[in-house]
Structure formats: C-alpha cells, structure tokens
C-alpha cells in the first residue's frame, strides 16, 4: 500500500507551474494530444 500512496502523491494534481498539469476530461486530453502530437498518459483512480 505504501507504493500506492507514494504514487498517488507523486502523480498528484498540482496548480504549481513547475509541476505537471493533469486534465480531468478525457475528451479534452484527446484533443490536446491531437494538436500537440504527444501521447496520452491516462490514469484511472478511485476518487480519494
């Protein structure tokens, strides 16, 4: 369980500029991926 918690924190949403931006809308992420040519990193997680 420790790894799971660590992962949740490490990948956690953040508003800080130096941290990753996470979309919460899959369709929007698809659109951005099309526009940027980037792949998608999709996380399914139970709402804490």
- Angle at alpha carbon of residue 39, lines to 27 and 17, rounded to 5°: 80
* Shortest reach from residue 30's CB to other proteins, in Å: 6
Window 8 to 27, contacts with other proteins (CB under 8 A): 8-14, 16, 18-27
Does 42 sit near other proteins (CB under 8 A)? Answer: yes
Task: Give the tokens for residue 26.
Answer: 């899959």
Residue pair 38/47 in contact by the 8 Å Cβ criterion: no
Q: State the residues that interact with other proteins by CB under 8 A.
A: 1-4, 6-14, 16, 18-30, 32-34, 36-47
């Amino acid at each position: 369980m420790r790894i799971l918690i660590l992962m949740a924190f490490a990948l956690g949403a953040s508003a800080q500029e130096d941290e990753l931006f996470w979309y919460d809308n899959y369709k929007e992420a698809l659109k951005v991926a099309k526009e940027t040519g980037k792949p998608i990193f999709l996380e399914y997680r139970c709402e804490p």
